[in-house]
Each structure stands twice: as C-alpha cells, then as structure tokens.
C-alpha cells in the first residue's frame, strides 16, 4: 500500500543528507577527513544512499554520474584539495576565479564595477533574516558571510530535516487515538524551503556549479559541482511542488 507521508518523509531525509554532504564538500578541507572519504568511497556511498531516499529507484544517469565522480576522486589527498580550494575560492584580491559568496558572485555576474562587499550586504542580510526566522544562528557569522555556499547548503539541510520532523510528528498525531495533526508544521517548512530556494539557492548556485566545473583543475571539485547540479535539480522540483501547496 502506497504511503504518501512515508515517501515524503524519506525524501526530506534524503534531501537533507545530500545538502549536508555538499556543505562538507564546499567547506575548506581543514583536515584529511574529506579526502579519506573520497578515496575510500564512503562519500559517494553516502551520496548514493541519500539520493536513493530522495528519489527511490536509481536512474541510469545517476549511476553514470557516480561512476564519473568515482574516477575524479581517485588519488585525492588533503593537500591537493586545499591547494585547489584556495585557488578556486580564496585567491587574494578581487580576481577570485569563483566567488563562494552569493553577494559577491551576483556582483560579478551583474558586471558591476568595484570590489564586491562581504557580510552586511542586502543579500546576506536577507539570508540571515530567513535563517533567524527558522531558528538558525550561524556560529561563524562574524568570520564567515552567511551567504557562503557551504552555509547555504547547511541551512538547506536544516530546512529539509525540519520538514521531515514535522511530517513525522503529523503522521504520529494523526495515527494517535483522538489526535490531530500539529498545526501546519510541514506546510510551514515546505514554504520556507521554497522561499529560500527561489530567493537565494536557485538564484545563483546553478551558475556557481557551472563555473566551478569550468575552472577546476583537480577534478574533485568538478565532481562536487556535478553532484551539486543533481541536488539542485531535485530542489527545483521540491520548490515547484511546495509552491503548488503540495508540501
């Protein structure tokens, strides 16, 4: 028997896990854990399991993508990842190959003159506002702009997880004797996912991923970007569904 709530819950869990993996992928590789996970296959195993939760049956295209990423991850080590990350995202001055902050990325995309601003931009402030409304406060807000690629992925992981928790509570209260669903919990979190996706994540991350794939010299970040594109496709589908009131 088809269980629509159970399917939605599994998808929320899978989407949260995929976003969390991408957050880890686009953080500066401080230690060797990320490189180890790429080489021993655990990163891709977690990705495949998460995508399975979100999508259900695996598609041939996904199997090909995972196979290609496996090839690109071969031989990855911490120092190589650190060098490439620094080149792509941390080059001093304004000549950063790919800005990892939404405000800066959109500043360059608009062909605006001058150096882009960090931290207290209109874009960053709106990201911070949406995070605060969802009950999130970034512990690194004073040292890392909240509109960084990995903090936005972390926020998306949080939103998906809370959506899943609300679905679980609603299912439990509906099944309880004399119970009723808790408020509009799932609908509220679905609305927040759709809003943040439209106003922020989907407004720049697809182009960000394209630029990373174009400029990466190592291969590993090309793979991360391809996985990012795959997740963003699913996020777009969720945003459309939630906007239609089907969350």
Report the CATH number that the domain containing residue 126 is assigned in CATH. 1.10.3480.10
Q: Is 175 helix (H, G, I), strand (E, B) or coil?
A: helix
Reported pTM: 0.92
Cβ proximity of 12 and 160 under 8 Å: yes
Q: What is the DSSP letter of 134?
A: T
The per-residue pLDDT for 44 is 98
10-residue mean pLDDT profile of the chain (247 residues): values are: 80 98 97 96 97 88 96 94 97 92 94 74 94 86 87 98 94 56 76 98 98 97 98 97 88
The per-residue pLDDT for 244 is 92
Over the Cα atoms of the chain, what is R_g? 19
Cβ proximity of 35 and 78 under 8 Å: yes
Rounded Cα distance between 246 and 167, Å, is: 13
User: How do residues 184-194 score in pLDDT, each as one tens digit?
Assistant: 599 999 999 99
Dihedral, 118, 125, 161, 26 alpha carbons, nearest 10: -10
The per-residue pLDDT for 126 is 96
Q: Please give the structure tokens belonging to residue 89.
A: 């995202």
Of the candidates 82, 9, 12, 22, the residue with the CA atom closest to the CA atom of residue 229: 22
User: How do residues 15-54 score in pLDDT, each as one tens digit?
Assistant: 999 999 999 999 999 999 999 999 999 999 999 999 999 9
Quote the distance between the C-alpha of residue 142 and its chain's center.
Answer: 21
The per-residue pLDDT for 8 is 95
Q: How many domains does the chain have?
A: 1
Q: Is 137 helix (H, G, I), strand (E, B) or coil?
A: coil
The per-residue pLDDT for 182 is 44
The per-residue pLDDT for 140 is 64
User: How do residues 165-183 score in pLDDT, each as one tens digit?
Assistant: 999 998 776 555 444 444 5
Range of the domain at 40: 4-243
Burial of 167 (0-12, 13-18, 19+ CB in 10 A): buried
């Amino acid at each position: 028997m088809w269980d629509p709530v159970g399917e939605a819950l599994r998808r929320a869990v899978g989407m949260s896990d995929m976003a969390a993996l991408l957050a880890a992928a686009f953080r500066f590789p401080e230690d060797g854990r990320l490189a180890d996970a790429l080489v021993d296959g655990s990163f891709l195993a977690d990705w495949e399991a998460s995508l399975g939760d979100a999508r259900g049956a695996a598609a041939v295209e996904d199997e090909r993508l995972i196979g290609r990423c496996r090839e690109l991850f071969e031989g990855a080590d911490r120092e190589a990842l650190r060098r490439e990350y620094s080149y792509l995202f941390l080059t001093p001055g304004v000549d950063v190959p790919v800005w990892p902050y939404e405000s800066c990325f959109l500043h360059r995309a608009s062909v605006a003159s001058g150096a882009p601003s960090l931290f207290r931009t209109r874009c960053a402030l709106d990201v911070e506002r949406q995070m605060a409304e969802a009950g999130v406060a970034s512990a690194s807000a004073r040292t890392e702009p909240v509109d960084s690629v990995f903090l936005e992925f972390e926020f998306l992981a949080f939103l998906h997880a809370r959506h899943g928790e609300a679905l679980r509570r609603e299912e439990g209260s509906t099944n309880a004797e004399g119970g009723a669903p808790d408020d509009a919990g799932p609908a509220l979190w679905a609305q927040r996912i759709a809003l943040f996706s439209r106003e922020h994540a989907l407004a720049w991350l697809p182009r960000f991923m394209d630029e990373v794939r174009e400029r990466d010299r190592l291969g590993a970040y090309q793979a991360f970007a391809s996985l990012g594109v795959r997740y963003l496709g699913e996020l777009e589908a969720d945003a459309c569904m939630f906007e239609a009131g089907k969350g």
